[in-house]
Amino acid sequence: MKLQDLEIFVIGTPPPGWGGRYWIVVKLTTACGIIGYGEVYAASVGPVAMRAVIEDVFTRHMLGENPENAELMFRRAYSSGFTQRPDLTVMGAFSGLEIACWDILGKARDRPVWALMGGRMNDRLRAYTYLYPLPQHDKSVFWTSPDMQAESALHYVELGFTALKLDPAGPYTLRGGHQPAMWDIDLSVRMLKSIRAAVGNRADLLFGTHGQFTPGGAIRLGAAIEPYQPLWFEEPIPPDNLLDFAQVAQAVRIPIATGERLTTKAEFGTLLRTGGASILQPATGRSGGLWETKKISALAEAFGAQVAPHLYAGPVEWAANIHLGVTLPNLLMVECIQEGGDFHLPLIGHSIRVEEGYVRAPEAAGLGIDFDEARARNHPYDETALHLEMREEPCDYQKGNDFEGGAPRND
């Protein structure tokens, strides 16, 4: 087999835009006609520029290569331009292309991808979702309403979820880490208290942040939410401060989770060696692809850490995360968007979904998805905003802060 053709889909998500404003899915075809799909999770440049990066990475490092040679192609991309260091944009492009190679290999051998990567360790994978507004909720109020969040939590628990994520401590600001406002600390505590009262011990609560705080600020917030026993404290400081994660981990009695903005074993290895995190959240469409993320997971196992693959993207990366998770002895859970996502699921023919809080190991060949190219083409992204964006305004210490979750698009 040899890789021959590349097609790139940039798919605009309809309102409310859960999973980001757009998704980038790649289609690779071999000279013998086998097709594989992958997803690129990289948001540093716009989709026009990202198309060019993907095309360059494919043409330079993968065109004409046997898709079996994942290690060789990774080393080419990782070393490109005399780098040999993590490059978020290049590795994001490579990650999606590498996932497509595994889809091809599984189809060529009529086996699921997990069967080619160590085999089945987990028959079903524990799933979690963010809390999203229910139809009766006022979306402009939901993100700062403990009562509405508690109603949403109870809804998802009744669907079978045993883990729920919330993110009340905004804002995400490009200014870097800051001290949380007392408003943010108070809202976080009231939110956790309300949700815990609604669901009791039926679900773990996952406290999400996205690198908002300085180490000292993260420690203050962590101390305030400890009584509610979150399963994790996610990305409490910016991801460029890898050595500082250990300071937070040593001071807060909540497991530290991070990894959605990291790439390759080089960055994850630094976290593990310094004790900065005990739960890793690689996104396979950014972290180096399936083979590299399997290595990251093995490193985590050696350090007593667990893996919870991250998802805030489309269903092709979701499928890749699931296949990885099936193989992992140190899997904690996988992120999902609700029970699969109203726009996500039709795009893959409803071939994977969450049932009673779990995802079963796929049995079909390759990634096990039925990707709908016509649907993808009918939803092009033609806007200028990035997949996710941060705000320029600093934390508001007078009027308080709110954050409408996950780059939603207007109704």
Q: Which residue has the tokens 């996502």?
A: 341
Question: What does each of the 411 residues of the chain score in pLDDT, given as a tens digit?
Answer: 999 999 999 999 999 899 999 999 999 999 999 999 999 997 799 999 999 999 999 999 999 999 999 999 999 999 999 999 999 999 999 999 999 999 999 999 999 999 999 999 999 999 999 999 999 999 889 999 999 999 999 999 999 999 999 999 988 889 999 999 999 999 999 999 999 999 999 999 999 999 999 999 999 999 999 999 999 999 999 999 999 999 999 999 999 999 999 999 999 999 999 999 999 999 999 999 999 999 999 999 999 999 999 999 999 999 999 999 999 999 999 999 999 999 999 999 999 999 999 999 999 999 999 999 999 999 999 998 999 988 899 999 998 887 766 656 655
Rounded (10°) angle between helices 290-302 and 264-274:
10
Q: What is the pLDDT of residue 391?
A: 87
Burial of 251 (0-12, 13-18, 19+ CB in 10 A): middle
Task: Kindly calculate the radius of gyration of the chain based on its CA atoms and give it in whole angstroms.
Answer: 20
**Containing H/E element for 49?**
helix 47-61
Task: Using alpha carbons, list the distances in angstroms from residue 181 to 168, 251, 346, 402.
Answer: 12, 20, 41, 11
Phi-psi label, residue 261: left if phi above 0, alpha if psi -120 to 50, beta otherwise: alpha
Contact 282, 309 (CB under 8 A): yes
Give the side-chain half-sphere CA count within 13 A for 354. 27
Is CATH 3.20.20.120 correct for 115-366?
yes
Q: What is the pLDDT of residue 406?
A: 64
The residue ranges of every structural domain in the chain are 115-366
- This prediction's pTM: 0.97
Instruction: Give the Cα separation of 160 and 354 in Å (integer).
Output: 9
Q: Which residue has the tokens 């290895």?
A: 269
Instruction: Give the Cα separation of 73 and 62 in Å (integer).
Output: 6
**CA 267, 271, 272, 273 torsion-angle sign:** positive
What is the 3-state secondary structure of 276-341?
CCCEECCCCCCCCCHHHHHHHHHHHHHCCCEECCCCCCCHHHHHHHHHHHHHCCCECCEEECCCCC
